Amino acid sequence: MNDANTTGVEASGVPQTMQKMSKIDLAPIPNEGVLLGWLRQMLLIREFEVRTMQAYQNQLIGGFCHIYIGQEAVAVGSIAAVNDDDPIVLAYRDHGHALARGMDPKYCMAEMFGRIGGCAKGKGGSMHMFDADHYLYGGHGIVSAQTPLGAGLAFATKYEDEILKGGKSSHVTLCFLGDGALNQGCFYEAMNLASLQDLPVIYVLENNRYSMGTAIDRGTSMAEELHVKSEAFGIEHAIVDGKNVIDMYRKFKSIADWCREESRPFFVEAQTYRYKGHSMSDPRKYRTKEEESREEENDCIDLLTTFLTEEFDFTKDALKQMNKQVKVQIRDSVTWANNSPETPMDEMYKDVYTDTWGPYTGTSKPEMLEEGGET
Ligand SMILES: Cc1ncc(C[n+]2csc(CCOP(=O)(O)OP(=O)(O)O)c2C)c(N)n1
Ligand SMILES: [Mg+2]
C-alpha cells in the first residue's frame, strides 16, 4: 500500500486560487457496529454475485453481465465515507455499488431478470442500475461515458446549493471508473471542466489491473502510477488500498470532506483485483491461476474478518450466522425476481428516447406507432 497521499500541484498555469490538500489525515476507525455493517454489506454483495452467476448460467439472466467479486471493499468503503444524498454515477460493473448505496437486492436482481419489478422496470439489465431515491444515477455501458456525467452531477449540486439556494456548495459526487476508461478522451475533457469550474467530484478509479482481457501495462501508459495523470489538470490525487475497507474509508472520508469543504475535484486510484472474468463469457485465458490465487489470498472480506476477530473477539459462529442471514436475503431476492412478471410489451416505449431526431416523448408511445405506422 502506497502511503504517499497526494503530491499537490506546483505546476505553472495552475490558478493561484486553487486549493491544495497538503496531507490526508486518516479519519478515525469507526466502532464495531459500523464495521460489522460493512462486513455484512460485503458478504451481501458477494453472495448476490454468486447467485447472479448461477442465474445467468440457468439462463434467467441474459445479455452482458459483469461480476464485482473481489472489489467489494472499494464500493463499501467509499460510499460509507459520503452522505446518503451525495450523487453516485457508475460504469457497467455496478451491482455492488447499488447494493452498497442501499438498493434492495430484490430490485437489483429483478432488473437483471428483465422483470417489471426491476429498478429500471427490467429495461436496463445488469449494466444500468438506477435508483433516484438513493441518488444513484446509473450504470453506464459505454466506457468512460459516466465521467462527464460525474462532472455534470457535481455542477448540478453546486449550482443548486450556491445559486438556487444561495448557500455554500455542500455535496460531493462520486464517479467510479475502470482503468480502461483512462484511455478515453472524454475523461480528460471531464477533468478539465471539473478543475476549471471547481466541481466537487471524486473520480474513483477502480484499478483491477485489466480492461477486458488486456492487462493494464499492455494497454495503458504509466501503469504503475495512474493516479498522477490528474496532475495535468491541477487535480489532487491519492492511492488507496482497494482491498482494505477500513483503509478505503479512512482516506476517503478525509478526501470527501476536503472536496466538500473546498469545492474541488479529486482523483483516487483504488488498487484492487477482479476475481472473475470481464463478463460472464470470459474464460480468463490471458492470466494464470497462480496470479488469481495470489490475489485471492488478500481478500477484502477475510481482511475485515481478521481485524474484527483480533480487535473485538468476533467469533466464527457470529460470521456463520451473518453469512446465513445474507444467504437467506439473497435467496429471497432471487425468488422475488422470479415471481415478478416479465416486462410487458407496452412498457417498451415508455421512459425512453424512441425517436433519434425528435423530442423526448416521456411515457407516451412514439408518434409513428400511435398512428399505426410500421417501421
Ligand atoms: C467506448 C467503448 N469502447 C469499448 C467498449 C467495450 N468494452 C466494454 S468493457 C471494456 C473494458 C473496460 O475496462 P475497465 O474500464 O478497466 O473496467 P472493468 O471491466 O475492469 O471494470 C471495453 C473495452 C465499450 N463498452 N465502450
Ligand atoms: Mg479494469
Residue 108 DSSP one-character state: H
- Looking from the CA of residue 211, the nearest atom of ligand 1 is 13
* HSE-CB of 356 using CA atoms within 13 angstroms: 0
Residue 354's pLDDT band (boundaries 50, 70, 90)? low
Show the domains of the chain with their CATH numbers.
Answer: 32-343 (3.40.50.970), 345-375 (no CATH)
pLDDT in tens, 239-267: 999 999 999 999 999 999 999 999 999 99
Taking CA atoms, 351 is separated from 251, 363, 365, 366, in Å, by: 39, 5, 9, 11
| 227 or 14, which is more confident | 227
Residue 375's pLDDT band (boundaries 50, 70, 90)? very low
| 353 or 27, which is more confident | 27
Nearest CA to ligand 1 atom 5: 143
Helices (H) and strands (E) in the chain, counts: 12, 9
Closest ligand to residue 278's CA = 1
The answer to whether 225 and 264 have CB atoms below 8 angstroms apart is no
pLDDT of residue 247: 96
pLDDT of residue 352: 74
- Looking from the CA of residue 181, the nearest atom of ligand 1 is 15
Taking CA atoms, 141 is separated from 48, 274, 353, in Å, by: 20, 18, 16
Question: Using a 6 Å cutoff on CB, does residue 96 contact ligand 1?
Answer: no
* Most ligand 1 atoms within 8 A of CB, residue of 212, 216, 217, 272 to mutate: 212
pLDDT of 4 strictly over 60: no
Please say whether the dihedral angle defined by the alpha carbons of residues 57, 62, 63 and 65, taken in this order, is positive or negative.
Answer: negative
- Looking from the CA of residue 279, the nearest atom of ligand 1 is 19
Question: Using a 6 Å cutoff on CB, does residue 222 contact ligand 1?
Answer: no
Of 121-135, 143-157, 350-364, the one with minimum mean pLDDT is: 350-364
Tell how far the Cα of 69 is from the centroid of ligand 1, in angstroms: 17
The answer to whether 141 and 153 have CB atoms below 8 angstroms apart is no
The helix (run of H) or strand (run of E) holding residue 257 is helix 245-262
pLDDT of 118 strictly over 80: yes
Question: Using a 6 Å cutoff on CB, does residue 6 contact ligand 1?
Answer: no
Nearest CA to ligand 1 atom 3: 143
pLDDT of residue 127: 98
Residue 350's pLDDT band (boundaries 50, 70, 90)? confident
| Residues in contact with 325: Cβ distance below 8 Å, sequence separation at least 6, in sequence order | 40
CB atoms within 10 A of CB 241: 22
Residue 278 DSSP one-character state: S
pLDDT of 6 strictly over 80: no
| Residue showing cell 489470498 | 297
Question: Using a 6 Å cutoff on CB, does residue 179 contact ligand 1?
Answer: yes
For residues 121-138, average pLDDT: 95
pLDDT of 353 strictly over 90: no
Nearest CA to ligand 1 atom 20: 211
The answer to whether 111 and 124 have CB atoms below 8 angstroms apart is yes
Q: Which of 206, 227, 262, 228 is nearest to 77 (CA)?
A: 206
Of 5-14, 75-84, 115-124, 344-353, the one with minimum mean pLDDT is: 5-14
pLDDT in tens, 305-343: 999 999 999 999 999 999 999 999 999 999 999 999 999
177, three cell numbers: 471508473
- Please state, rounded to an integer, the average pLDDT across all residues of the chain: 91
pLDDT of 366 strictly over 60: no
Class of residue 183 by CB neighbours under 10 A (exposed 0-12, middle 13-18, buried 19+): middle
Taking CA atoms, 121 is separated from 130, 137, 313, 334, 340, in Å, by: 10, 15, 44, 16, 10
* HSE-CB of 212 using CA atoms within 13 angstroms: 5
- Looking from the CA of residue 206, the nearest atom of ligand 1 is 21
Q: What pTM did the predictor assign?
A: 0.91
Question: Using a 6 Å cutoff on CB, does residue 211 contact ligand 1?
Answer: yes
Measured distance CA(59)–CA(274) in Å, rounded: 23
For residues 10-34, average pLDDT: 70
Residue 38 DSSP one-character state: H
pLDDT in tens, 215-226: 999 999 999 999
Nearest CA to ligand 1 atom 17: 178
pLDDT of 191 strictly over 80: yes
Residue 23's pLDDT band (boundaries 50, 70, 90)? confident
Q: Percent of the chain scored above 70 by pLDDT?
A: 88
pLDDT of 304 strictly over 90: yes
- Looking from the CA of residue 179, the nearest atom of ligand 1 is 16
pLDDT of residue 371: 53
Give 293-333 as a DSSP string: HHHHTT-HHHHHHHHHHHHH---HHHHHHHHHHHHHHHHHH
pLDDT of residue 24: 84
Question: Using a 6 Å cutoff on CB, does residue 97 contact ligand 1?
Answer: no
Nearest CA to ligand 1 atom 25: 142
- Looking from the CA of residue 93, the nearest atom of ligand 1 is 21
| Residue showing cell 455535496 | 171
pLDDT of 15 strictly over 60: no
pLDDT of residue 12: 35
Question: Using a 6 Å cutoff on CB, does residue 278 contact ligand 1?
Answer: yes
